[in-house]
Amino acid sequence: MKSIFLILIFIFLPIQSAMSFTEREINIYKNLRCLVCQGQSLNDSNSDFAIDLKKVIKKKIINKQTDQEIYKYLTERYGDWILLDPPLKKTTIVLWIFPLLFIFFGGFFVYKSVRIYSNN
């Protein structure tokens, strides 16, 4: 049974890694803002700027640069604004903490309500 699994893994492994290249590429595009067409991600946009930027990113992926290196390259030139997924920083801490607070207080509220309801 184990050996069959191993064989299957070895058959599908190359396919998986081949797919992950384009997946990775699209993933990066989805995390970036098209700067000249605000409100769209790079992946959604077909503006000249977006097409050029995609070419540059593709070249970097082919040159075996990591995602982090690519994001760093872009934020050095275009600022954090180009990232659709904002980094955890002093200025964005509220953005990151609020959902957690909501879950916490919401959970507390639900817990309280359920207890009151079941007591009745």
Partner 1 sequence: MKNKFKISLLFFITVIFFIIFYYSLKANNKNNPNTMLNKKLPPIELTSLINTNLKQTLPIISEDKFYLINIWSSWCVPCRDEHQILMLLKDKIKIYGINYKDQKSNAVSFLNELGNPFYFIGTDKDGSTAIEMGAYGVPETYIVNSEGLIVFKHVGPLNKKIYLKISEIIK
**Contacting partner 1 within 52-81 (CB under 8 A):** 52-53, 55-56, 59, 75-79, 81
Amino acid identity for residue 25 in this structure: E
Nearer to partner 1, 37 or 67 (CB): 37
Query: What is the rounded CA–CA span in Å between residue 91 and residue 34?
Result: 22
Query: What is the rounded CA–CA span in Å between residue 92 and residue 61?
Result: 28
CB of 7 to partner 1, least distance (A): 44
Amino acid identity for residue 60 in this structure: K
**Contacting partner 1 within 90-119 (CB under 8 A):** 94
- Token pair, residue 20, equals 């992950």
Nearer to partner 1, 6 or 56 (CB): 56
